Amino acid sequence: MAQLERLLKMAEDELTEYSTDARKIEKLRRKIGLSVSAAEQRQVKAALLATMKSGGIAQIVEEQRQAAALPFWGIAGLGLLFGVSLNQPICLLAAIVGTVAAYRIQKWGWQLQARRLLLQTLEDIETRIAQPNK
């Protein structure tokens, strides 16, 4: 669904700005309201809810992506340190694997946060439509 991907990119763009979640939702709500019809919003929300995972590791990575990736950054640093100082190629391999794992965990967390922000925004739009006197 191209519309979902486009809205996720918009949500990721909002995550890059330093502001409160309420401000991010407000800005994203205006963008979605102008570019997506109500029927498409419901379709996107249904597709988003179908792909969202709740609980477990996904929730931890979504809420604390940097803390979840920290051990892998440590493995990468130690692998690099020991690989260079002890001239051990296996340690350099551990550095590469640790770096890739840490990067992917952080990227996954970023995507999960964007999905959550988009879902919150779509729910906010529905609430405002249901109660227009807000």
Residues 85-124 have pLDDT tens digits of 888 889 999 999 999 999 999 999 999 999 999 999 999 9
At residue 134, the pLDDT reads: 54
CA 118 to CA 103: how far, in whole Å? 23
Q: Quote the pTM value.
A: 0.84
Can you give the C-alpha Rg of the chain in angstroms?
19
| Residues 46/119, Cβ–Cβ less than 8 Å | no
Q: How far apart are CA 122 and CA 134, in angstroms?
A: 16
- Measured from the Cβ of residue 5, the count of other Cβ atoms closer than 10 Å reads 10
